[in-house]
Amino acid sequence: MADTWLSDTRSSYDTDAPGYAEKVRGLLDEMPHLRASLAVFAESVRAVGSGPVADVGCGPGYVTDHLHRAGVDAFGIDLSPEMVALARRTYPGLRFEVGSMTALDLADGAVAGLLAFWSIIHVPDHALPGVFAEFRRVVRPGGPVLIGFHVGDETRHTSEGYTGRPINVDSHRRRPDTVSGLLRDAGFTIDAELLLRPDEDVPGAVVFARRDT
């Protein structure tokens, strides 16, 4: 069977970009631990001498903007052209490009750091090692990587977007040790794993990693 996850994910976020943007508006204001994670990440970028930082699967761009206001030279990449268009309209001073984390249009070692917040959730297991290899390729040695994702063991299919329109996207929940293990295999050292809202139905996690030198 053809592997349609990329085209399904792209068209789903093209359909649901405004609904998703509305859903996550102000999210960081309610999540101090996530803001603290971004502050640690920004400090780690400064520690390696700064430089451009990719927000991969940036969606509407609010995390890119948060990093930029924290002094990080952040730019966004997203699979969905509609999401990128929305991010550009919302943050006209920032750079957003269409692209896929499966084959980033970046030179080896081009970025000082890389963040992927709740975007690897759409990558099926068979494609995740390739995505992490791609992250390692584009991050300079020692550069920090911050990965956010839903915690759990199952895959959830969503057939209706936030505005009620039909979409077709899978979201894969994973355990932090699974994600950390794959990052280690790809050539990263793990600095920390943070479990967010562990008592909720679907907790979140962020893994802090560094590209091996």
Ligand X SMILES: C[S@@+](CC[C@H](N)C(=O)[O-])C[C@H]1O[C@@H](n2cnc3c(N)ncnc32)[C@H](O)[C@@H]1O
Q: Are 117 and 63 in contact (CB under 8 A)?
A: yes
Q: Which is nearer to ligand X, 56 or 106 (CB)?
A: 56
Q: Which is nearer to ligand X, 6 or 70 (CB)?
A: 6
Q: What is the 3-state secondary structure (H, E, C) of 49-84?
A: CCCEEEEECCCCCHHHHHHHHCCCEEEEEECCHHHH
Closest approach of Cβ 49 to ligand X, in Å? 25
Closest approach of Cβ 98 to ligand X, in Å? 9
Which residue(s) pair with 206 in the sheet? 148, 194
DSSP secondary structure string for all residues of 116-148: EES-GGGS-GGGHHHHHHHHHHHBPTT-EEEEE
Closest approach of Cβ 180 to ligand X, in Å? 19
Q: Which is nearer to ligand X, 60 or 176 (CB)?
A: 60
Closest approach of Cβ 57 to ligand X, in Å? 3
Q: Are 132 and 188 in contact (CB under 8 A)?
A: yes
Give the residues lining the site for ligand X (CB under 6 A): 6, 9, 13, 24, 56-59, 63, 77-80, 83, 100-102, 117-119, 122
Q: Which is nearer to ligand X, 58 or 94 (CB)?
A: 58
